[in-house]
Amino acid sequence: MKEINELNLPEDVRYSNDHEWAKVTGDNVRIGVSDYAQDQMGDIVFVEMPDVGDTFDAGDEFGTLESVKAVSELYAPIGGEVVAVNEALEDAPELINQDPYGGWILEIKPENADDVQKLLDREAYLELLKGQ
């Protein structure tokens, strides 16, 4: 397990209390799990993803990650409609372990783009992790 100061926590993404991240990409938002989350889970062996066209409210469960240790639910940090899923994860779920920010899980068209700004910035997320 990594120490907090060893975690890769980019400043250009926002974080949820559930350890998902969200990054604005044009009109859409990419969502994945943080370096902390993938590190805690260990080797990820399966990713259950939603279908394109599915819609979620913030806080809704949208899939699961299965590792050699456990199965963890994934929660939407913001609401919206799924416009893409990272199909590369179907054959190579370990991409999330290798690069949690390149190994995004889904992309949504947000109901309200401003919702991303309500998520935690890097500093606030670090404070959350220190309390874990």
Q: Residue 130 domain-assigned?
A: no
Residue 51's Cα: distance from chain center in Å?
16
Q: Residue 85 domain-assigned?
A: yes
Domain that holds residue 75: 14-121
pLDDT in tens, the chain (132 residues): 899 989 999 999 999 999 999 999 999 999 999 999 999 999 999 999 999 999 999 999 999 999 998 999 999 999 999 999 999 999 999 999 999 999 999 999 999 989 999 999 999 999 999 988
Q: What are phi and psi of 106, to 5 degrees?
A: -150, 165
CATH code, domain carrying 20: 2.40.50.100
Tell me how many domains the chain contains.
1
Q: Residue 1 domain-assigned?
A: no
Beta partners for residue 17, in sequence order: none
**Tally of residues, the chain:** 132
Sheet-wide strand order for 61-67: 44-48, 61-67, 71-75
Q: Residue 127 domain-assigned?
A: no
Q: Which pLDDT does position 113 carry in this prediction?
A: 84
